[in-house]
Amino acid sequence: MASAPLLTQHVLAATPAFQHRVRMAFSHVAQEVCREDPTTPGHDLRYALARTVFNPSDLSAPGFAPAIATTRRVAAAAQAAYDGTSGASAESGVSDELIVEAVRQMWNYACGWVPGSNGQPEGP
């Protein structure tokens, strides 16, 4: 079962301000990835995603916002704040720190390197 109703997750993902915040969080985490040790498991794929984050093809697209809106902690925070009428209310419950942490947890999945294949923890 989802941590928040799918409608709440959709409302959050479709909120332009949330999309922009997610895009900025990806930019920050991309910088971290570019500085990581090249022997980090999955580094080549992680680094490739970082480079694409620095050159987005469409700044008006929702980007990774839908994926981040569905993470357990982000969805739960949005649901707790959602008043049923506006995306801004759902977004108000989601801190920048929570978004950045969700991006860090989703990075490997977004780049195509699946943790768990060599003893790494599973899932965000």
Q: pLDDT of the chain along its 124 residues, tens only?
A: 456 799 999 999 999 999 999 999 999 999 999 999 999 999 999 999 999 999 877 777 788 999 999 999 999 999 999 999 889 999 999 999 999 999 999 999 999 998 665 544 444 4
**If you ran DSSP here, which 8-state letter would residue 124 be given?**
-
| Model confidence pTM above 0.75 | yes
Q: Is residue 116 part of a domain?
A: no
Question: What pLDDT does residue 58 have?
Answer: 76
Q: Which domain holds residue 64?
A: 6-111
Looking at the structure of the chain, the number of domains it has is 1
Using the structure block, give the residue that is written with the tokens 């969805």.
75
Residue 99 domain flag: yes
Residue 124 falls inside a structural domain? no
Please indicate, yes or no, if residue 119 is contained in any of the structural domains: no
pLDDT at 118: 54
Cα–chain center distance at 86: 21
Take residue 82 and report the two structure tokens written for it: 């959602």
Q: Is residue 11 part of a domain?
A: yes
